[in-house]
Amino acid sequence: MADELLEVLAFVEAQVEKALELRLTWAELLRRVFALDVLTCPHCGGPRRLIALLTDPIVVRRILAHLGHPTEPPRPAFARSRELLDFA
């Protein structure tokens, strides 16, 4: 019984390690999906690097407002025209 449990644990551990090896960075995902290279400066072509992660909504809103950008997310839009959704 204990041997079987150890085998299962070893199998799970190997699967987790495989999954971690296949994991892509956000930069790589953005490059693949949107053809957006976030690690290259669009102005001079030089390398960019992550210097901070901002997660506090108050701080993020203040920075966006200071830069003159919208501070609220856009309202969700219908995927189709409302007229197409009226069946009456």
52 belongs to the binding site for Zn ion (CB under 5 A): no
Of 1, 22, 26, 43, the one binding Zn ion (CB under 5 A) is 43
Minimum CB distance to Zn ion smaller for 8 or for 41: 41
Residue 53 DSSP one-character state? -
Write phi, then psi, for 49 (nearest 5 degrees). Answer: -140, 155
How many residues touch Zn ion (CB under 5 A)? 4
With CB under 5 A as the contact rule, which of the stretches 13-21, 29-37, 46-54, 80-88 interacts with Zn ion?
46-54
CA 32 centroid distance within chain: 12
Q: Which residues on adjacent β-strands are paired with residue 47?
A: 40
Q: Could you report how far apart the first and last alpha carbons of the chain are, in Å?
A: 65
Of 8, 10, 41, 60, the one binding Zn ion (CB under 5 A) is 41
Residue 67 DSSP one-character state? T
8 belongs to the binding site for Zn ion (CB under 5 A): no
37 belongs to the binding site for Zn ion (CB under 5 A): no
d(CA 68, CA 55): 19
Footprint of Zn ion (CB under 5 A): 41, 43-44, 46
